[in-house]
Amino acid sequence: MAVAVRELELDLDAFEGPFDLLLSLVLREELPLQEVDLAEIVIAFVEHLADRGELDLDACGEFLVLISALLELKARAMFPDEEAELAELEPEEAAEELARRLAEYRRAKEAAQFLRGRLEARRDLYFRLGPAPLAPRPERKLAPQSADKLAAALRVLSIEPPAPSTAHMALRFPPTSQFLERWRSLLRRRSRFDFDQEVKGLSRVEVAVAFLALLELRKQNEIAIAQAAPFAPIRISRADAERSLSWTAHSA
């Protein structure tokens, strides 16, 4: 190997070191050739020749042979199926196939240039990020249903529901006579009592009826009602006891 090629030091993504070591690694299949950028090797060789300041034709010829061999190996590794197809063709057919592929490559290249020009012309335009507004919605699929279960559910829905009950809203008023007897019996045993203490634990309706019974007894002059201040305890006493207390205080 010429001196210029042997002295070539490479710094690639997949390899770093002298060129002859790269060749040995590739030939022993210890380094996949698909991972090696051959264009960077060519650029590195050209820069190496420029640094030396002289043109070594032997080194250039040997480098061309080596880089061509690497290109052929890389192409065969990247397109193994196409290599098998071309091997079965006659020379004329292989030339026609190569011309066809070159035409396809030219069309693809022109299409890429056209798309790049369109992109450059519309670079200032913004596009919508997200699904299109008229995108088809996926159809919701129902799980398998049983006809018997569906019929049973329809039978339940066809039954007329019971009428709503308003019993819990009705107010039940106890008879006033019940509390009349209660207050009279209490006053026969005691001369006075505290209304709030006697109605403790009763409902609001029962308290109202109990107070109506007191008003009825007061109307008949059977009791006396006293309250020191608004919202103060209500004191109930017998009318004769209240008159006796008043007469005693007046006499004194």
pLDDT band at 251 (very low <50, low <70, confident <90, very high): very low
Tokens of 51: 């640094």
What digits encode the pLDDT tens for the residues 58-90?
Answer: 778 777 878 887 777 777 777 665 555 555 656
Q: How far apart are CA 52 and CA 54, in angstroms?
A: 6
Terminal Cα distance for the chain, rounded: 150
Q: How far apart are CA 16 and CA 11, in angstroms?
A: 5
- Closest to 33 measured CA to CA, from 76, 85, 87: 76
pLDDT of residue 225 exceeding 80, the answer is yes
Indicate the average pLDDT of the chain.
77
User: Which range, 70-79, 88-97, 110-119, is most confident?
Assistant: 110-119
What's the pTM? 0.32
pLDDT of residue 212: 92
